[in-house]
A and B are shown apart, each in its own frame.
Chain A
């Protein structure tokens, strides 16, 4: 990591999630093989049964914090790691499972489990950064593997990683798509969401559903107004904005106000 030739120790942890973002590491394929020339994979339970108890140079955390056990575990990882990177929308914003945060938790548990008293979960699914200091975040459901790889490479060479946090619209324009909202009146969350996916949904003629989370300084109020103007009832606007990353600070703060209006 610094001047010496010792390999940096990399750890990968899974919290409440689908495993998709850690699979993105495996998807690096040949790039992964080149990466392990620079790092030692010290802990990556899905890929290896070798377990190094740490301390680690870089810890990647996938998944949200949603159980009392995870609250403890995430603190241990922080103590045991020099750099912590939250990867994926669950770790960065709480993930799709944070849809339950808008509901009455007791009702949620009862709907799924006949014996709710056996469930040892938290009322809310929350981002890693609600619990510990996080050095870098790479969102996405799943993360873009090239973005992840680039952040990893920059961190491992001692640089401060940078990736753009502009709106999806910028990426969509660069991709040469016709705006689905302007041309066809299809509701799209692109104007407040961050780029990174390649503007996939608009390139398929559908609106963005926000799985990468908000851009820097988003304007959800303006988007909500526009969605109402193209004919979406307020109730629908709320459903859509809650969606995948509605628990992110800017969207949640807006929704809390908007729902009362």
Chain B
């Protein structure tokens, strides 16, 4: 568009995201000159009221930060506490944790790519509206998501805020035959997972390419989910314990939210696209076959393609659950008991939306003295705003209504979980 124009896009309430946020974009004389992602989700002060509570409660309490990815919080808290107490988790229990955690990836990923994000690329307001024209896609998505939820329920008791996991292991032993209902439906669910991925690969996604700094856990032999070293595409690699040394927390004047950046000042993206690009070799070969047939492989080029990473990780999760069920043998005891001692430790797990960092300090009675939690979405805010600048041409080349849609989609690319991000965000009241 040649004539210079000025307009504003103000989305006061972002839809199809978890939690409450908005976005404000200003175009001046035909140029994008201002972007802010506002967050007005109420703060809930988890780090403050965790203090003084028994260490065993950290998983159950922090789970409530997020109703979509409670297991990520449960496992990050468990792993940090297990490091403090010197507990080594036996392989059988790790397998159960992984099956449940992959179940959560499925539950969260399908929710996002099928119900919240796909409508953007097909021109619908919601998946319920999409269901009229794409009934099979929506029904397959519901079936796969239920199976993922089932995996969490079988092991953890319920899908949202499961109660079966504890520091040291699980509250009870899960019998092999209890996993049978999952195994029975595996073939059918896997086929549906393939169909869902193929559906996403057929979407018309923007093909632009731009620079992205991505950071995630990196696996050695397996795709990272519960543990790994931290890596990015700038060649950095460091252990989870030095996470806070490698990032800076920044508060921008125009933003109500904290922004995390690398220590060199660059924004970075965490989440499925980062994991996918950094761990492509570890994805199940069957997933890679389908991707490559459709012309996709790592590295994905822009955040719109994160929907591809999500659908690919979804199928990978299904396949992994199938494999892990075969591998599982019952542990001798449901959990490892440890003598309580004072200490401090950090742990990172891969929540569906990206790296989730927990650090705790406890006293000799096991009471929590200090907690620091860095959820994935706070790490993505800086990149989200920069992304909108990167797609400036797309925004400027159409009418403002279309521009608003592009802005919203750009935010949704990140599957932001604002509820998570705001348990500790600095809320700022802008008085002009």
Contacts and interface: CB of A to CB of B under 8 A. Distances in A.
A192 interface: no
Contacts of B116: 46-47
9 tightest Cβ-Cβ pairs between the two chains A and B: A20-B67, A48-B126, A49-B15, A99-B49, A204-B171, A18-B67, A50-B125, A97-B44, A111-B48
B42 A48 contact: no
A111 B50 CA distance: 11
Interface of A: 14-24, 26-27, 29-30, 32-33, 36, 41, 44-51, 66-67, 69-70, 95-97, 99-100, 103, 107-109, 111-115, 118-121, 125, 141-142, 197, 200-201, 203-206, 209, 211, 239
B359 interface: no
Contacts of A142: 67, 158, 160-161
Contacts of B149: 27
B127 A47 contact: yes
Contact of B427 (A27, A107, A119, A197): A119
A141 B161 contact: yes
Contacts of B164: 204
Interface stretch (B17-25, B179-187, B303-311): B17-25
A242 to B, nearest CB: 9
B233 interface: no
Given A27-B149, A203-B157, A70 B42 contact: yes
24 contacts: A18-B70, A19-B417, A20-B160, A20-B161, A23-B160, A27-B159, A33-B142, A41-B126, A45-B14, A46-B17, A47-B126, A51-B15, A66-B42, A100-B45, A113-B43, A113-B424, A115-B426, A119-B427, A120-B429, A121-B43, A201-B163, A203-B157, A204-B171, A239-B53
A118 B427 contact: yes
Interface stretch (B58-66, B94-102, B205-213, B342-350): B58-66
Contacts of B417: 19
B40 A69 contact: yes
B42 A33 contact: no
Contact of A96 (B52, B61, B145): B61
Contacts of A141: 64, 161
A111 B15 contact: no
A18 B45 CA distance: 13
Contacts of A23: 67-68, 111, 160
